[in-house]
Amino acid sequence: MTRIGDLLAAGRTYSFEFFPPKNDAEQATLVQALRELEPLNPSFVSVTYRGGAESRQRTFDLVSGMLATTTLVPMAHLICVAHTRLELAEILVAFRKAGVENLMALGGDPPADPADGPGELAHAEELVDLARAIGGFSIGVAAQPDVHPLSTSRESDRDFLAAKLERADFACTQFFFELDSYAGLVDDLARRGVHKPVLPGIMPVTSLSSVPRMATMGAAVPEWMVKRLEAADEVGGAEAVRSEGVAIATELCRQLLDAGVPGLHFYTLNRSNATREIYSALGLGAMSA
């Protein structure tokens, strides 16, 4: 069983996300993380995609390499931005020929180079439809617990997400830090008649210097959390901050599991330590081994 939709139908999933390395140093870090996380037996792993021919090849190489050399079940990301419909179709066909069965369909951020253009498909739901036409994929989409930054309102954001998720098999959320953010998202979808699995995205905050970046990456760190991290810093410095960040993420995971979530999706930043520590604290390593 390798399609994520089937895995979710069978029970709770635990998954990790990686990004393709840009150089030899990043490659070595990623290889080490994969070696350390593979024994945890994740349900699947997700590989990001930034767009452009170089990133496209890196994503393809990493995903196909996982299929050939590991026991991991990979999910490839693909974005609409800066691609024609034909290019996207060609990429999808190449994935299927390589044996890839799982896809994360994304709209994508605006291109860094305006010459790349916005792309022929405007929204992720159009990419979902194209992947369905190619066939053979279990398809996920992204969800924003605290509303997409380009949305004009919460209501319109949830309307678009519901329409997108109806076409897909499941969603993975951007990271967030409070249970209510996730619960509100799921409730909003349920009121729109959408009950597909929504996997909560987890990213521990392990340094005070990363706090400002979190808002630009997807979710602002709440004040109560900053105070806990600052208090840890006063007591034990950077290592204490790291430990407190892992503890906070573990607490959130426990709340989510108690609430009956369909799984947990960890943003690893290509490093394994924090994820392995959370796994151990939750007792998941023994369960998944």
Options 17, 101, 125, 126, the catalytic residue = 17
Is residue 17 annotated as part of the catalytic site, yes or no? yes
Cα angle value 213/75/254 (rounded, 5°) = 60
State whether residue 101 is helix, strand or coil: coil
* Residues contacting 213, CB < 8 A, separation 6+: none
Neighbours of 242 (CB within 10 A): 20
Residue type for 282, please?
L
**Partner residues linked to 165 by β-bridges:** none
Q: Where are the alpha helices (DSSP H) in 38-84?
A: 52-69
* Residues contacting 93, CB < 8 A, separation 6+: 134
Tracing tokens 């609430």 back to the chain, one arrives at: 259
Q: For residues 24 and 10, what is the distance between their CA atoms, to the nearest angstrom?
A: 38
Q: Are 14 and 261 in contact (CB under 8 A)?
A: no
* Residues contacting 128, CB < 8 A, separation 6+: 105, 139, 141, 164, 167, 168
DSSP string of 123-157, one letter each residue? SHHHHHHHHHHH---EEEEEE-TT--TT-S-HHHH
Q: For residues 99 and 76, what is the distance between their CA atoms, to the nearest angstrom?
A: 11
State whether residue 16 is helix, strand or coil: strand
Indicate which residues carry an active-site annotation: 17
